[in-house]
Amino acid sequence: MDSEMAHPRGLTPEHEVTRDQTIPCETTRKRVYQRFKHKKDDSNVKFVPINVEFNGSGSKTINKRARPPPKGLPRRPISTTGSRKKQVQRNAPWNLARISHRRRHSTAYIYDERAGDGTCVYVLDSGIDLDHRDFEGRASHSVSFWPDSTSQSHGTRVAGIIGSIKYGVAKKTKLLSVQVLNDQGATTTSKLTAGLEYVLNNAQYRSKYCPKGTVVNISLTIPYSLAVDLAARKLVTRGYFVVVAAGNDGDEVSESPATERLVCTVGSSTRLDKIAWGSNHGLDINLFAPGQSIMSTRAGGGYQQASGTSMAAPHVAGVGATLLAQGIRVVDLCNYITSIAVKNAIDLRGLEDETPNLLLSNGFT
C-alpha cells in the first residue's frame, strides 16, 4: 500500500510543537471509501487503515462524537493503601506548584512521598536520553520503530515532565522509551499502531517490574485513524492509563488517538489559568494541564523550555503514576482525575463549545 506524504508547515522552534503541530493531510473518510470502494460493502472488512506518513497532528477530519459511543468501562470503588506523607519542593517551577494547589501563585510543589514508586510510564515519542542525570537511572529503552533515528529531544522533554527529579511530577516512576517518531518528528500510522500494540504485550511481561500500575503517555496526534484509536482503546480496557495530547490546531479535537473516548485527552493552560494559544478544545477534552513555558530535561544534558499540549499531557501522566503508587485502584483513572480537578479555573472566554473547564490537580491540597 502506498504511503502518502504529509507536508509540514510553519513549525515554530521556540514552542514545543515540532511533534504535534498541525500538518495538512487529505486522508479523509471519503477518500478511504473511494480508494477501497470495492471492499466497502464487504461485511468482513471492518475498516481499512492507510499507512500515512505524518509529522505531528493532522488536519481536521472526523470527530469521535460522530461515531457510536463505546459501551464504556465499568466503575469500581476507589481504594487507597497506606497514609499519605507529603514532600515539598520549594521554589518549584510554576507548573508543578500549580497542580498541587487549588489557587495559583504558590511557589512550592507538594506531593506524596511515594512519587510514582512502583509504577512505569511508557513514553511513545522520539526516544529518551537515558544518560541524563535527572532520570537517576530510572529511564530505559524498550523498543524503537526507527532504529536509524537518534534524535531524542522531544521525548526527553516529555519524560522529564513525567518523572525527572528536578522538573518531574512523579519523581520515582520508571520511564520506558517506545520510539515511534523519527529524527524529523514523523511516523506512520502502522508504526504508531505497532507501538501501541507493543506496549499492550510488553506491559503484561513487565507487570512484576511495575507492581503499582502502568501509564502510557502519547504527546502527539495524527490525522484520524480508526486503527490507532482502537489500539489505544484496547490499552485502556486492559487496565492501563492512557494520556494523549489534544493537539495544537486551535480547534476542536479531531485527531487520533485524542479522538478515542476512553483515553485521557489533555489541553494546555497558561500560568494565568487561560487556555494556551493554539491548544485544541471541545467536548473531547477531558481536562487542562500546564503547557506554557514548561522547563524540562534536554537531550544531551541540561534543560530547555517548551510549550504546547505535548508538555501538558505528561503532567497528567505523572499525576496518574503518583495516584497509582498511593494505591488508587479504579478502572477509569481519567474519570477519577477529572473528579479531583479544579473546577472552573480556566478562562475559556471566546469559546462557544462544550469544553470542560477543569484544571489538573494532584489532589494533595
User: What DSSP assignment string belongs to 133-153?
Assistant: GGGTT-EEEEEES-TT----H
Phi, psi of 123 (to 5 degrees): -110, 100
In this structure, the strands spanning 294-297 and 174-179 are unpaired
Distance from CA of residue 322 to its chain's centroid? 16
Query: What is the rounded distance in angstroms from the CA atom of residue 357 to the CA atom of residue 91?
Result: 27
Contacts of 14 (CB under 8 A, 6+ apart): 307
Contacts of 11 (CB under 8 A, 6+ apart): 17, 18, 21
Q: Is 251 a catalytic residue?
A: no
Exposed e or buried b per residue across 171-198, where buried means at least 16 C-beta atoms within 10 angstroms of its C-beta: bbbbbbbbbbbbeebbbbbbbbbbbbeb
Contacts of 58 (CB under 8 A, 6+ apart): 6, 22, 23, 24, 25, 27, 221, 222, 223, 224, 255
Q: Is 3 a catalytic residue?
A: no
- Kindly name the residue from 310, 315, 332, 361 that is annotated as catalytic: 310
Owner of C-alpha cell 500515512: 52
Q: Is 15 a catalytic residue?
A: no
Active site residues: 125, 154, 310
